[in-house]
């Protein structure tokens, strides 16, 4: 830290100083305005440049620093609602650079990854689905927007976190329509320190050998069987949930209470499916998983 400031505070002050500066500023000028030593400020400038906040340009013997376009600093928790509407606005415009910059700016401003996923990213998935169902966008545009959302989620997956070896989760999407939901959950699990194995769209695996294939995979990713292993399935139809639940339960019996099955999707009232949790809400799934992992310790 410099002069008792946190990295977030230095970032915020730097954005205010460089915002609108067409000609850029030298490291010396920045350090003087920030009241931070040149050596310390140089270290921060290099870190922020690596993160995409700044760019450097050599003019003669002087190194000038510029703010990359689209950089902002937000205040949380007040700005979560504002970010949600702005994310959808940029998304519908198809402006990928502004979408990704918005997410990075939120994270740099201290926004919680889990809340950003649940309150910003996840609602956008439902929004795009509604646009398509209402015939306001076509198949091509739907795929384009979903790809942007998927890339947004990858930003969260690249955040370095300390994983707990006792918290393990396998996330499955029963089909293409559930893929983004499963990706959202995987990113949220990752931000909460889970060891995540995301299998993605497993519709091609719907056959009589699925339980054997899954058992082999579990034997590789959960060799020492530390803590718990939660298998979370996302599906749009009751039939898909029934298939995966039946297959996973046959494997689950061999592992006992250390393995949990969670189903996320709409289940008809007449259907009886055996699981540790069944819910339509991704937030319930994540909260339940966290509670179970804490109770196992």
Sheet containing strand 228-234, edge to edge, reads 195-201, 167-173, 228-234, 259-264, 277-279
Closest CA to 283 of 115, 171, 81: 115
Q: Could you say which of 97, 126, 157 is where a domain stops?
A: 157
- The number of distinct structural domains making up the chain is 3
Decide if 289 is inside a domain: yes
User: Which pLDDT value is given to residue 297?
Assistant: 65
Across 258-277, average pLDDT: 91
Decide if 75 is inside a domain: no
CATH code of the domain containing 140: 1.10.1240.10
The answer to whether the CB of 207 falls within 8 A of the CB of 216 is: no
Same domain for 211 and 132: no
Q: Could you say which of 29, 44, 67 is where a domain stops?
A: 67
Number of alpha carbons in the 13 Å side-chain half-sphere of residue 110: 14
CB neighbourhood size of 164 (10 A)? 15
CA gap 179, 173 in Å, rounded: 5
User: Which pLDDT value is given to residue 1?
Assistant: 42
First to last CA, the chain: 35
Same domain for 54 and 22: yes
Structural domain of 122: 80-157
CA gap 166, 13 in Å, rounded: 40
Give per-residue pLDDT as tens, 40-77: 999 999 988 887 788 888 888 888 999 887 778 888 99
Decide if 259 is inside a domain: yes
Question: What is the pTM (predicted TM-score) of this model?
Answer: 0.83
| Confidence band for 110, pLDDT divided at 50, 70 and 90 | confident
Q: In whole numbers, what is the pLDDT of the chain averaged over residues?
A: 91
Decide if 1 is inside a domain: no
């Amino acid at each position: 830290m410099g002069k008792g400031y946190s990295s977030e505070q230095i970032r915020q002050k730097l954005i205010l100083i460089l915002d609108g500066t067409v000609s850029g500023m030298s490291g010396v000028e920045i350090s003087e305005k920030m009241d931070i030593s040149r050596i310390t400020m140089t270290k921060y400038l290099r870190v922020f440049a690596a993160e995409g906040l700044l760019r450097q340009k050599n003019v003669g013997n002087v190194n000038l620093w510029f703010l990359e376009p689209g950089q902002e600093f937000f205040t949380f928790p007040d700005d979560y609602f504002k970010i949600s509407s702005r994310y959808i606005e940029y998304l519908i415009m198809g402006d990928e650079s502004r979408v990704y910059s918005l997410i990075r700016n939120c994270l740099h401003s201290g926004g919680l990854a889990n809340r950003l996923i649940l309150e910003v990213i996840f609602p956008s998935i439902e929004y795009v689905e509604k646009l398509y169902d209402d015939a306001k966008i076509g198949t091509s545009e739907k795929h384009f927007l979903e790809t942007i959302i998927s890339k947004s989620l990858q930003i969260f997956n690249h955040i370095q976190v300390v994983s707990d070896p006792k918290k393990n989760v396998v996330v499955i999407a029963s089909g293409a329509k559930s893929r983004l939901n499963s990706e959202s959950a995987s990113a949220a699990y990752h931000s909460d320190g889970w060891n995540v194995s995301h299998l993605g769209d497993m519709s091609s695996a719907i056959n009589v050998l699925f339980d054997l294939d899954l058992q082999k995979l579990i034997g590789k990713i959960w060799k020492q069987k530390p803590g718990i292993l939660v298998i979370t399935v996302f599906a749009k139809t009751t039939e898909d949930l029934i298939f995966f639940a039946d297959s996973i339960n046959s494997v689950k019996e061999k592992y006992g209470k250390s393995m949990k099955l969670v189903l996320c999707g709409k289940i008809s009232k007449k259907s009886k499916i055996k699981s540790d949790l069944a819910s339509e809400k991704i937030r319930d799934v994540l909260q339940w998983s966290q509670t179970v992992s804490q109770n196992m310790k």
